[in-house]
């Protein structure tokens, strides 16, 4: 940011407002960093670019342009799958075309701006996540703040961009991702709901799930009604596979149990959003069951859907069960599966027999890493002495424009019955 003020710009804007011109209800922009980690061993470097505002100044009519940072982090250091999150939010100065990078873990420069950034930030407001480590969280960043909404109104959709880098401090291993910027939602204010659900993800960042039960009646083959993504599972001896999961708030149309409340508005600014995740395969008749395919095209079936509240990061053994897990562990062979979402069913401390804030959607990332050498053939011979650290944001945009079966990571399951049977393709 720069503190120099271009007087001509301010005069022009002042004249505009003096004639009653206002765009108070213009849309603003919001970013989501679905996976944030506070750790003494790993730093999460967050970079945010803001293009809203007026060139050459960081305030208008003595009201500063500021970004709103909104963390939702696990209530304890246990970081359990079904543990709710606590909110921690603050505002920090910005200006047009500003970039700011900080360590959300607070290890580097105590959470203040990095890389000799001399902009006039509020140095009494560090930007790292509070709470003792380790903590898992997600972070929302928006420019729905007063100077933009009440005066500048330049904060339209597409005025924020972000990147995150996870940096292992001892050895320098790193991975990262681009923040999710949802398609335009309703006209927001700083306290308005933020929507990030499936259908607003032009690049497939959110996997849209389906309800499994409506008013006590189970849905047959529920995964056929939602999106699915897919991924490969490396053999267990290759290293560690960790799945990053953050539910995205949606409106569940009808509750699973009669008498339970119905959510009237989706809002990502909550710490108890709950979605189930399940590894699934598609059978020849088109139905889905829990399981994975091995690399001989056989189905290893198991039923192990998991409730995830707020956010989580779990090793593959939390999602794969039974003989399939033993297969990956002992044989040195690999598999693949679809990943499907279902409505959350977790009933928290209130124990009222109703799921707490059930949702259908999820953002999913997969991390594969090693800390020692790699034995590719599982024969006791090290083939690679170094390590790897690979992250993939799993995607699907079946529900996005221009329609089903088009775009990022959508694959089709086709079956042909010889000699003259039809080719039948099911969009998975």
Chain centroid to Cα 204, Å, comes to 11
Radius of gyration of the chain, Cα coordinates, nearest whole angstrom = 24
Q: How confident is the model at residue 4 (pLDDT cuts 50, 70, 90)?
A: very low
Q: Where are the domains of the chain?
A: 7-178, 213-426
pLDDT of residue 288: 93
For the cut 80, the answer to whether the pLDDT of residue 21 exceeds it is: no
83 vs 315: CA distance, rounded Å: 17
Query: Which residue carries 């650290």 as its tokens?
Result: 389
Cβ contact 280:400 at 8 Å: no
Question: Strand runs (DSSP E) across 258-320, as ranges?
Answer: 274-282, 288-294, 299-301, 306-309, 312-315
Cβ contact 342:207 at 8 Å: no
Which parts of 62-135 fold into alpha helices (H)?
A: none
The SS3 call for residue 306 is strand
pLDDT tens digits for range 213-230: 988 899 999 998 888 999
| pTM across the whole model | 0.89
Percent of the chain with pLDDT over 70: 85
pLDDT tens digits for range 362-386: 999 999 998 887 877 777 778 787 7
Number of Cβ within 10 Å of residue 170's Cβ equals 7
Chain centroid to Cα 389, Å, comes to 19
pLDDT of residue 415: 63
Q: What's the chain's average pLDDT?
A: 84
pLDDT tens digits for range 315-346: 998 998 878 888 877 888 889 999 999 999 99
Range of weakest confidence among 45-49, 57-61, 275-279, 368-372: 57-61
């Amino acid at each position: 940011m720069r503190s120099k003020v271009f007087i001509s710009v301010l005069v022009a804007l002042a004249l505009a407002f003096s004639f009653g011109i206002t765009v108070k209800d213009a849309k603003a922009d919001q970013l989501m960093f679905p996976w944030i980690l506070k750790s003494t061993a790993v730093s999460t470097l967050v970079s945010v670019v803001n293009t809203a505002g007026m060139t050459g100044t960081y305030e208008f009519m003595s009201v500063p342009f500021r970004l709103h940072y909104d963390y939702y982090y696990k209530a304890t250091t246990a970081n359990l799958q079904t543990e709710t999150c606590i909110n921690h939010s603050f505002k920090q100065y910005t200006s047009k075309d500003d970039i700011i990078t900080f360590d959300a873990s607070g290890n580097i420069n105590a959470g203040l701006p990095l890389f000799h950034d001399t902009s006039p930030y509020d140095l009494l407001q560090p930007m790292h996540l509070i709470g003792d480590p380790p903590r898992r969280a997600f972070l929302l960043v928006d420019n729905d703040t007063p100077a933009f909404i009440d005066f500048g109104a330049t904060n339209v959709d597409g005025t924020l961009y972000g990147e995150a880098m996870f940096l292992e401090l001892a050895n320098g291993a790193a991975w990262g991702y681009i923040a999710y910027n949802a398609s335009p939602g309703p006209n927001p204010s700083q306290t308005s709901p933020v929507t990030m659900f499936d259908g607003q993800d032009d690049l497939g960042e959110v996997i849209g799930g389906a309800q499994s039960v409506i008013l006590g009646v189970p849905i047959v083959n529920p995964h056929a009604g939602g999106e699915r993504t897919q991924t490969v599972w490396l053999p267990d001896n290759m290293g560690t596979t960790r799945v990053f999961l953050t539910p995205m708030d949606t409106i569940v149309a009808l509750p699973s149990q009669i008498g339970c409340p119905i959510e009237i508005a989706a809002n990502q600014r909550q710490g108890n959003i709950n979605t189930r995740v399940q590894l699934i395969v598609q059978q020849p008749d088109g139905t889905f069951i829990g399981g994975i395919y091995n690399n001989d095209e056989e189905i290893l079936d198991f039923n192990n859907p998991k409730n995830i509240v707020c956010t989580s990061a779990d090793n593959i053994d939390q999602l794969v069960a039974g003989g399939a897990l033993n297969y990956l562990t002992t044989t040195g062979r690999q598999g693949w599966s679809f990943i499907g979402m279902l409505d959350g069913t977790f009933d928290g401390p209130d124990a009222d027999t109703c799921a707490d804030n059930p949702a259908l959607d999820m953002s999913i990332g997969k991390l594969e890493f090693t800390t020692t050498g790699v034995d590719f053939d599982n024969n006791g011979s090290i083939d690679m002495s170094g390590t790897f650290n690979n992250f993939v944001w799993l995607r699907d945009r079946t529900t996005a424009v221009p329609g089903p079966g088009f775009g990022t990571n959508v694959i089709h399951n086709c079956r042909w019955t010889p000699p003259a049977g039809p080719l039948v393709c099911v969009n998975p």
